[in-house]
Copies of this chain bind each other. A is one copy, B any other.
Amino acid sequence: MKQLRLSQLCQILVDHGFPATVEGEDRLIDAVNTLEAAKHGEISFLSNERYLSAVATTGASAVILRPGLPVPDGLAAIRCEEPYSALTVAIIAIHGYREHPQWGVSERAAIDPTASIGNRANIAAGVTIGANATVGDRCTIYPGCYIADGVRIGNDCIFYPNVVVYDHSEIGSRVTIHAGSVVGEDGLGYAPLGEKWIKIPQVGRAILHDDVEIGANCTIDRATLGTTEIGAGSKFGNVVVIGHGTKVGRDCIFVGVVGIAGSVKVGNHVTLAGHVGVAGHLTIGDNATVAAKSGVKNDVPADSVVLGYPAIPIAEFKRMVVVQKRLPELAKRVKELERELEELRGLVDTPSPQGAP
């Protein structure tokens, strides 16, 4: 945590490409907080103007918001056209990223003599590192992690407690894996023999490329043959489950409880929202978005937004929801039509007196 004057913070924003100006007193700020929770000495922000009323009552000393929006007397402001991006810069400038306990290489870690450990590695008690594994420079490995034989880990990785990486998996540099996640476990690979299931040895590997971040309690299968891969820069929430042989592109975002079956090809910069499921052997194009809770059973074209079960394009889905809501009414109208048609048929079949010759 670092204390900054508003003017200093403003300069940092400008340096990051976000033009900004200070309004009011040039106060000292030592934390960023929500409008509701902020106290004296803290800065908050307004991104969604729906919450404008909270600016009037915040306990913050300053607020980041767009030019032109009203602020109460006594509240200093940083005016910026992109308050959400400015917020990110402010949090990094003031709070920085988490600092980790420094264990060096603990004597109570169980490191195989054939493993190779990088410079300034930070390896806790209760970590196991297997034969012929390599851990890069400046990696932090928390207690309870298990790095199996032959695993290769790049530089500057962070593994939170109880992460398990199965044998021969490959992890790039600057990869973060949160607590309890598992990488490279066997997938659900069995051959049927009558009603029994014969285990197929899972001899492929799992690869996480550079700058991947994996949430807590995720599981990423190794491939049966070949590789399961998570592309550079992709970010997963918690309890994301990736099947064997699936290849995920770069810069994807997968929200919590996403499950992908095996042998799926996911393009670059794809968003899968919470609880999405994707069936096996499908292809999801670049920049596609799948809305929360959807079940994907067909290929998804690049740049499209799909949802539902089975997932369909969003415009089609919305139309369907509207019509579905009107279904009971539609059924009534059909019944009424049948009644009226019957009545009309009676009129036509038995011509009215006026119509009679």
Contact = CB atoms under 8 A, between A and B. Distances in A.
A154 interface: no
A34 B355 CA distance: 78
Interface residues of A, number: 126
Interface string A36-80: 110000001000000000000000000000000000000000000
Interface in A231-259: 233, 235-239, 241, 243, 245, 251, 253, 255-257, 259
A34 B348 CA distance: 70
A201 interface: yes
A323 B324 CA distance: 9
Given A144-B162, A237-B243, A239-B239, 8 more contacts: A34-B225, A96-B201, A126-B128, A161-B164, A186-B215, A216-B219, A217-B239, A351-B352
Contacts of A297: 292
A14 interface: no
A199 B213 contact: yes
Interface in A304-345: 308-310, 312, 316, 319-321, 323-328, 330-331, 333-334, 337-338, 340-341, 344-345
Interface of A: 31-34, 36-37, 44, 84-85, 87-88, 91-92, 95-98, 101, 108, 110, 124-126, 128, 130-131, 142-144, 146, 149, 160-162, 164, 166-167, 178-180, 182, 185-188, 190-191, 195-201, 203, 213, 215-219, 221, 223-227, 233, 235-239, 241, 243, 245, 251, 253, 255-257, 259, 261, 268-269, 274-275, 277, 279, 292-293, 295, 297, 308-310, 312, 316, 319-321, 323-328, 330-331, 333-334, 337-338, 340-341, 344-345, 347-349, 351-352, 354-357
